[in-house]
Amino acid sequence: MSNIVVILGPNNPESEIANKESQEAAERVGGIDLRFVDDSLLFDEIVEQSQGAVMILPKGRSDILTDLVSKLGTVKLVQTSSAGTDWIDKSALAEMGVDVANNGGANAVAVAEHSIALMFATNRKLDTQIASVKNGTWMKGIPGERDEFHTLVGKRIGIVGLGRIGSRVAKRLAGWECDIVYSDVIDHDPEYVAATGAKRVEFDELVSTCDIITLHVPLDRVTEHMMSDREFEMMKSTGILINCCRGPVVDENALIRALESKEIFAAGLDVTEIEPIEADNPLPNMDNVIVTPHVATRALESNLNAAQFTMDNAGRIVRGEDPEWVVAPI
C-alpha cells in the first residue's frame, strides 16, 4: 500500500507553521510520506500532486474534496483536524468506500474550558463588568438586579452529548459543587460515565429541569435545530443556554424570541447559524448574551494535539489498520 498522505490547504505563513507541526508528528509516527498541496492550484494540478494518496487532510477548500477523492481512486480516509465534519459530504465518500474521521478530541479540553468560562461569564455578567471598566463607568455600567448574579454552586448543569468534550466539561465541573446530568443518544460504557460523575436523564427532563444547558453534539440532520421554540418554552425562566458545538444545532430565531420575551435568562455562544455573524443580528448587543467568534478551540495545545492525532491515524492507514474516530455518514 502507498504511504502518501496529502495535506490540502492554503499556502500562507499560518499554514507553514501547522504543516511543520504535522511533519514533525509524521516523523514521530514513521513510515509516512507527507506532502503539502496548495488548494489554490487548478484542479488538475491538485490531482497530479495528490497522486497515490491514501489519506487526505483538507485544511481549506471543501468544494473539490469529493471530486478529488473520486479522481484519485486510492484514498482510504479523509481526515479532519477539526471535531466537526458537517462540511464534508460523508455519504458520497462512503459510497466510494472512503471513511471520514474527526480529530479524536484534539481540542476537547479547550472547548470544555471555554464552555465553562461562558457558564461563569453569563452567570456573573462578566462581559459587562469588563466593558464598564473599559468605558470608564466602573460599577455604574453593569445592568441587572442583585438576583441576576449567581455562583455555580448547587446549579443543575445539563450536558447534551457526553462525548470527548461533554465528558471533560462534566469532569471539570466536579469541583464546582454542581448537580451534573447528561442526555445522549449513545450508550456509553458504564465506567466512562462513572468517571464523569454525571447522571443520565431523558432529554426533555434535562431541558426542563436544568439551570444551565450546554450543547456538545455534532451537527447532522438529527441535531439541527434540536433547541427551538418547544425546548425554550420548556426551559426555566432563569435558564442559561451554552453552545460551543455548531450554530445550526440551535434555532437562532427561536433563541432570540426566547431571550427577548425572557422565556430564558441568558445565552453564551461560541457559534452562530451564520458565520461571521451578520451585522444586524441582535444577539451580540443583548445584555443577557455573550458571543465569542468560534474560537473555543484556540489554544496551542489544540493545534499540537491535532497534528499528532491526525498523523497517528495516517500511520494506521499506511500500515493497513483501521482508522480511529470514524464519523458515520448521517
Q: Give catalytic residue positions.
A: 246, 275, 294
**Residues whose CB falls within 8 Å of the CB of residue 14, separated by 6 or more in sequence, listed in order:** none
Amino acid at 158: G
> Whole-angstrom Cα distance, residue 71 to residue 23?
26
> Whole-angstrom Cα distance, residue 37 to residue 49?
7
Q: How far is CA 317 from CA 60, 186, 299, 313, in A?
A: 22, 26, 28, 6
Of 101, 108, 105, 89, nearest to 313 by C-alpha is 101
Q: In which element (H, E) is residue 9 found?
A: strand 4-9
> Whole-angstrom Cα distance, residue 255 to residue 250?
7
> Whole-angstrom Cα distance, residue 131 to residue 90?
43
Spatial strand order in the sheet of 77-79: 33-38, 4-9, 53-58, 77-79, 99-101
Q: Residue 57 has which C-alpha cell? A: 487532510
**Residues whose CB falls within 8 Å of the CB of residue 105, separated by 6 or more in sequence, listed in order:** 83, 163, 164, 165, 305, 309, 325
**β-strands 33-38, 53-58 pairing:** unpaired
Q: What is the torsional sign of CA 58, 59, 63, 68?
A: negative
> Whole-angstrom Cα distance, residue 329 to residue 78?
13
